[in-house]
Chains A and B, each alone.
Chain A
Amino acid sequence: MIKVVLHNGRTEEIEGPKQVRQILKELGILENTVLVARGEDLLTPDRIVQDGEIIELIPVISGGFL
C-alpha cells in the first residue's frame, strides 16, 4: 500500500502502484491545491508511486486578506 500523509496528521492508505493524479482524485483533492512530496522531491501528477512508498500532501492555500 501507498501511505499518504495529510496535513492534519491523518494518513490514508491507497493501493499502488498509482499515478499521483489518480491518488489525488481518489482522495477528492484538486491538483492545484497541494504539493505532493516524496522525501525531498516534488512529484508531478504523472509520476507513479509504488506500494510501500510514503508521500506527503502539502496544502498551498492560505486565507485572509490584508
Chain B
Amino acid sequence: MKCRVCKSLAVISLPRHNSAFCKEHFFEFFYNQVKKAIKEFRMFRPSERILVCVSGGKDSLSLWHALTVLGYPADGLYIDLGIGGYSEKSKEMAEKMANLLGRRLIIVEFGREYAPVNVVAKRARRSECSACGTIKRYYFNRVALEEGYDVVATGHNLDDEAARLLGNILRWHIPFIAKQLPVLEEENELKKKVKPLCRLTEQEIAAYAFLNRISYIRDECPMSQDSTSLLYKRALNLIEAESPGTKHFFYLEFLKQRDIFSVSPTNHDRTGIKRCEICGSASQTDICSFCRLVSYLQPLKT
C-alpha cells in the first residue's frame, strides 16, 4: 500500500478512511484528529492547566505525548492500585514518560494507603473494574482540585466509547447514554473532564506509540480480562472488519444526534451536589462513592 499523501510505502492502513499513510503523514493524521476533537468539543486552550490520567498503557501515554507535541503542557497523574507486578510495571512506564517529556508526574499510592483494589472489590462485593473506576474518578477530581488543574484528560479512545455506547444501548441505560460525551463541563467542584483521543481507534493509538517508541505496558490488566467491555469491543471489531467505518459512524453520529436521548434529571446528573460527610468532597449522596467503597475496609484497619 502507498501513502495517500506522498505515495511512499505505507506503514498503516486505515480502511475506515479508505486510506493508508507513511509514518510522517500518519502522525499528521493523528495530530489532526486530536486537534479536531479538542476544537470541536471545546476541550481546553493551551493556557489551561491539564492533568492527564496515566495508567502506563498505550492510550494515556500516547495522549500525554501527543498533547505535549501539540503545545499543550500537561502533567500526569498515576494511581497505584496495588495490583502486584502489573502496578509496578505500569508505574515505571508512567515515570519513564514523565522523564521523557520533562513534566511532573503525581503518584497516588492507593494500594499502600488502603489495600489492593482486588481486596477492596471483594470486601465491597463489587467487580474489580467497578471499584477501580470509583477510585480513579475520585482521585482524578480530588488531585485536580487540590493541585489547581483546569481540566482532567483521559485516554479513552473511539473503541472504548463505541463499546461503552453499545453496552449502554443493549441495556437501554438512557441516563448513561445521555451523559456519554467527550466533554463533561466543570460543575460544583467536579472538574472538567475530556477525552481528546475519542476520534482515534486503539489500533491507530498503538501504531502511534510503536512508531514513537513509547514504552507502555502491553499486558492486559489482570483484573479486566473478563470485562464486558472486551466482549463489546470484540463484537464491534467483527462488524468493523466486514464493514469498515461502522464503529466511527456509530459513535460520532451518536454525538451529533445525542439530543434524542435527553432525559429528565437523575442521580447521574451533576446537579444537586452535596458534600461528602467523611471526606468533604462533592458528592451526589451524603457519603461519596469512594468513602463508601473504602469503608468496607474498616475491619481490616482495626
Contact status A59-B218, CB under 8 Å: yes
Tell me how far the C-beta of A33 lies from the nearest C-beta in chain B, rounded to whole angstroms.
6
Q: A35-B203, A63-B230, A64-B132 are in contact. Are A44 and B11 (CB under 8 A)?
A: yes
* Complex alpha-carbon distance, A42 and B238, angstroms: 22
Q: Could you say which residues of chain B place their CB within 8 Å of the CB of A35?
A: 203, 206-207, 210
A66 touches B137 (CB 8 A): yes
Chain A min CB distance to B239 (Å): 10
* B206 engages A58 (CB within 8 Å): yes
Contact of B203 among A32, A43, A64, A66 (CB under 8 A): A32
Chain A residue with the shortest CB-CB distance to B220: A63
Q: Check: B129 CB closer than 8 A to any chain A CB.
A: yes
Tell whether, in the assembled complex, residue B1 and residue A46 are in contact, meaning their CB atoms are under 8 Å apart.
yes
In Å, the complex CA distance between A33 and B241 comes to: 10
Q: Does B80 contact A (CB under 8 A)?
A: no
Task: Kindly state the separation between the CA atoms of A46 and B20 in the bound complex, as whole angstroms.
Answer: 11
Contact string, A46-62, partner B, CB cutoff 8 A, digits 1/0?
Answer: 10000000000011111
**CB <8 Å contact, A30 and B237:** yes
A46 to chain B, nearest CB (A): 5
Chain A neighbourhood of B207, CB < 8 A = 35, 42
Nearest-CB residue, chain A, relative to B193: A66
A42 touches B211 (CB 8 A): yes
Q: Is the CB of B10 within 8 A of A62?
A: no
User: Which one of A7, A31, A37, A63 contacts B221 once the chains associate, using CB atoms below 8 Å?
Assistant: A63
Could you list some 27 contacts between A and B, CB below 8 A?
A: A7-B218, A32-B15, A32-B201, A33-B203, A33-B237, A37-B210, A42-B210, A42-B211, A44-B10, A44-B11, A46-B13, A60-B206, A61-B159, A61-B220, A61-B233, A62-B57, A62-B58, A63-B220, A63-B227, A63-B229, A63-B233, A64-B224, A65-B129, A65-B227, A66-B53, A66-B137, A66-B156
A interface residues (Cβ-Cβ under 8 A, vs B)? 7, 30-35, 37, 41-46, 58-66
